[in-house]
Structure 1
Amino acid sequence: MSDRLAGIARRIETVRQLGAVVNAIRGIAAQRAQQARALLPAIRSYAETAGRAIGQAQLLARDPSGATLRPGWPDKGGLILFGAEQGFAGAFPEQLIDAIEPDMASHHVLLIGSRVASIATERGLRADWTASLPSKADGLPGLAAAIVDALYDYLGDAGPVPIAMAYPVWTPGHGTGIVRVSLLPLDLPAFPPARSGIPPLTNLPPAQLIGDLTAEYVFARICEAAAEAFAAENEARMRTMAAARTHIASQREALALEERLTRQDEITAEVVELAAGARIRAIS
């Protein structure tokens, strides 16, 4: 085999190995996305249960005039930002920073995802608290608990300020979009009391009961955002790897064609050389 053919063979083997790596990454991403999707129904049911309980508890927290007791909230606050943990996830980490960058300087930012944190640092943006997305979906509740602890530490210092969340959501056929929602203060009218209008029996003061239920609801919503971000990152990685696999297949076809043409050229050259040698011997 000539040096040129040997070089092409090495390139074909390199591309084949790269294809195997891409397929492995795509398979892992698909498994992780599926795991996160499987968690979302239970997380949403948990949040809905906490929300219904808050609605029922409001029957205990009304003044004689019938107005719901609600705290005042100054016009400042925090932002929980979920992004990507690793690379090969498309452009959505940059899109997320683009969407939130104008607000980062004026908010207390809790930033989740090493990749998006790196992009923020490159742009000179500051995050007050950072954390990594777990490598497996079963680590999401632990992450949510850590975020809640950091959030309450901030609220303990800043007082009752509004909190918002921004996170990516993957939609089939549309790709990744950035969702921004208000987390605190709760919009209590959005949690209507039970139709019966009968206050629940409880041994807790109404304010404490609503506060405890709010903590459960906030934890559930943060879990949901973390699961959505985890799924979106892996769905985006699957799409990126699918595009890479298509490109690799094209490279392999091009190299296979180049190998066949090179082999044909070498065979032709050998035939011409043999024919020339035979002619010289015939003349002599």
Structure 2
Amino acid sequence: MSERLTDIEARIRSVEQLSSVIEAMRGMAAARAQEASHHLAGVQAYAATIAAAIGRVAPSRQTPATARWRKGSHLVVALCAEQGFAGGFSRRILDRFVRLRNDSQDQAVKLLLIGDRGLLAALERDLQPSWSAPMISATAEAASLSNHIMEEIYERIGKGPVERVSLLYAHPGGAMADIIERQIIPFDASQLDRPAGRTPPLLHLSPETLFESLAEEYVFAEICEAVVLSYAAENETRMRAMMSAERNVSETLETLTASARRQRQEEISNEISELSTSILSSASA
């Protein structure tokens, strides 16, 4: 009996240690999600500034460079999880990619995958990315990763026909993150509001050249926003997973504590019984 109680108490200590680890992971995920939320406001303000500039210099509601986008492949940048304990985060992104690919008929759909955990999940499903890179581990890395993605996209555009480029990412908030598909190339100026009643700006470049430069900057801002949103969604998902794990650990701890209590009572009862038997034996002798 004593060995059994010792085993239970050892398991209780292990579960308590696990509970501490889970609590720490939940706290880190919550802090990262909050950090991403604060960073997002700056990214969106930057995108809004670029959008306003485009609205003032755009020579028309259409993209000047539309003609160079000919029939070709569809590049899908899928933002998945970098770390584990995020539930089905990467799986849901990849499920959406598979549906998108299946719906594309004859068009070649190429997967540009972000996130090491997402890469593992993709390989398990026999999905071979055309290119991959690690996801950010802090919001300060968002701009660097966005530049890296931009470089890869434009390098591929330069090498062969690309018809369009889309982002696939999770949006935080709610019980389960929404999966967003967003086309970023070709850039469509008609999606932006043009300010009315303002004097046209004095330009030192042709409107078309300036427009293309601003359009690229806006695409960068869109990628950066998606990266930050995905990072926030990943950490929100991890936080919810840790909260669920905490509940399971708490229930396990309660069960083990009750079991240890019963074992302890049985030991005490057995000791009293043995002592009573010994006293009775001594008295009868």
| TM-score over 0.5 for the pair | yes
- Distance in 1 (alpha carbons) for counterparts of 2:37 and 2:127: 31
Alignment match, 2:215:
214
Are 1:34 and 2:7 counterparts? Answer: no
Paired-residue identity, %: 34
Question: Of residues 87, 92, 99 in structure 1, which corresponds to 2:96?
Answer: 99
Question: Of residues 55, 77, 99 in structure 1, which corresponds to 2:74?
Answer: 77
- Distance in 2 (alpha carbons) for counterparts of 1:132 and 1:67: 35
Task: Name the SS of the counterpart of 2:66 in structure 1.
Answer: coil
- Distance in 2 (alpha carbons) for counterparts of 1:110 and 1:210: 27
Contact 2:62 2:190 in 1 (8 A): no
Alignment match, 2:105:
none
Alignment match, 1:49:
49
Moved more, 220-229 or 95-104: 95-104
Alignment match, 1:129:
131
Q: Which amino acid in the other structure matches residue 80 of structure 1?
A: V
Question: Of residues 114, 117, 122 in structure 2, which corresponds to 1:115?
Answer: 117
How many residues are paired up? 278
Structure 1 residues 221 and 193: CA distance shift in structure 2, 3 A: same
CA displacement at 1:198 relative to structure 2: 3.7
- Distance in 1 (alpha carbons) for counterparts of 2:256 and 2:220: 53
Task: Name the SS of the counterpart of 1:180 in structure 2.
Answer: strand
- Distance in 2 (alpha carbons) for counterparts of 1:192 and 1:226: 24
TM norm structure 1: 0.92
Alignment match, 1:193:
194
- Distance in 1 (alpha carbons) for counterparts of 2:31 and 2:203: 43
TM norm structure 2: 0.92
Please, which runs of 5 or more residues in structure 1 have no aligned partner? none
Contact 2:75 2:162 in 1 (8 A): no
Q: Which amino acid in the other structure matches residue 259 of structure 2?
A: E
Task: Name the SS of the counterpart of 1:167 in structure 2.
Answer: strand
- Distance in 2 (alpha carbons) for counterparts of 1:165 and 1:86: 20
CA offsets per residue over residues 67-119 of structure 1, 9 Å max, x none?
A: 87452333432111101111111112111111111445832221101111111
Contact 1:84 1:114 in 2 (8 A): yes
CA offsets per residue over residues 118-150 of structure 1, 9 Å max, x none?
A: 111111112111111121111111111111111
Task: Name the SS of the counterpart of 2:163 in structure 1.
Answer: coil
Query: Where do 1:148-163 residues align within 5 Å?
Result: 148-159=150-161, 161-163=163-165
Task: Name the SS of the counterpart of 2:177 in structure 1.
Answer: strand
Q: Which amino acid in the other structure matches residue 234 of structure 2?
A: E
Task: Name the SS of the counterpart of 2:70 in structure 1.
Answer: coil
Task: Name the SS of the counterpart of 2:247 in structure 1.
Answer: helix
Contact 1:82 1:229 in 2 (8 A): yes
Tell me the C-alpha RMSD between the 2 structures. 1.8
Are 1:165 and 2:167 counterparts? Answer: yes
Contact 1:56 1:192 in 2 (8 A): no
Q: Which amino acid in the other structure matches residue 99 of structure 1?
A: R
Please, which runs of 5 or more residues in structure 2 have no aligned partner? 103-107
Structure 1 residues 192 and 134: CA distance shift in structure 2, 3 A: closer
- Distance in 2 (alpha carbons) for counterparts of 1:203 and 1:135: 40
Contact 2:62 2:188 in 1 (8 A): no
Q: Which amino acid in the other structure matches residue 196 of structure 1?
A: G
Alignment match, 1:6:
6
Contact 1:52 1:192 in 2 (8 A): yes
Moved more, 214-223 or 196-205: 196-205
Query: Where do 1:187-266 residues align within 5 Å?
Result: 187-196=188-197, 198-266=199-267
CA displacement at 1:43 relative to structure 2: 0.6
Q: Which amino acid in the other structure matches residue 249 of structure 1?
A: S
Q: Which amino acid in the other structure matches residue 278 of structure 1?
A: I
Contact 1:169 1:179 in 2 (8 A): yes
